[in-house]
Amino acid sequence: MVVDFTPQAGDQVEVFGHSGEFEILAISVLEGHYRYKLARLADGAELDGITYPMLTYSDAEKVRKALPQILPECRPWPDDFQNGEGACLPNYDIRSNEMYDGTPRVLVSFFLKPDAIHTPERARVRNEFFGKLHEQFQFIDIRAWLQFTAKEQRSVLSAAS
């Protein structure tokens, strides 16, 4: 499987020689080369005319771009996962942080259906599914610890009470 990492408007990227993360605002072609207009997420400062070799993706953004392409290859996914928008992929969330020892981590959490029953068999099915995902991601250059988990999605009202 070949995963497409073609930069698109809305992607978050890092730019060689500049600090912080940027969002791609627009893409143009000048003299046969792609040029990108970017805005820094922290302060909105814009860069224009940035070339493709200057762009890199963070580990979390690589996972965000690759996961929708990889998930169909890992079917069937566990039947206790919630369906996402359009019901073509399971509902998930991607977060990046550091583990207790400072190791960078990308955490992908799949949301369980509200009526999901926790059994050893369901845990085994989820672990096999997560193993398939790890196999697919082994060829993508991710330096962070990539972790998959399943969790219950609590409603805002129940979390507030």
- Block means of pLDDT (10 residues each) for the chain, 161 residues, are 86 94 95 94 94 94 94 90 82 93 94 89 94 93 93 61 47
Whole-angstrom CA distances from 154 to 48, 77, 101, 123, 136 are: 42, 21, 29, 20, 30
Find how far residue 13's CA is from the centre of its chain.
Answer: 13
Distance CA 119, CA 160 (A): 28
Handedness of CA 42, 45, 48, 50 (dihedral sign): negative
Does residue 160 sit in helix, strand or coil? helix
Rounded to two decimals, the pTM is: 0.83
Residue 110 phi, psi (nearest 5): -95, 135
Q: Determine the pLDDT at residue 87.
A: 67
For 148, residues 6+ apart whose C-beta sits below 8 A from its C-beta are 108, 109, 110, 130, 133, 134
Q: Determine the pLDDT at residue 117.
A: 85
Q: Determine the pLDDT at residue 115.
A: 87
Distance CA 77, CA 149 (A): 13
- DSSP class of residue 52 equals G
Q: Determine the pLDDT at residue 18.
A: 94
Q: Determine the pLDDT at residue 161.
A: 47
Scored b (16 or more CB within 10 A) or e, 35-65 reads: ebbbbbeeeeeebeebeeebbebbbbbbbbb
Q: Determine the pLDDT at residue 160.
A: 52
Structure tokens at 130: 């997560």
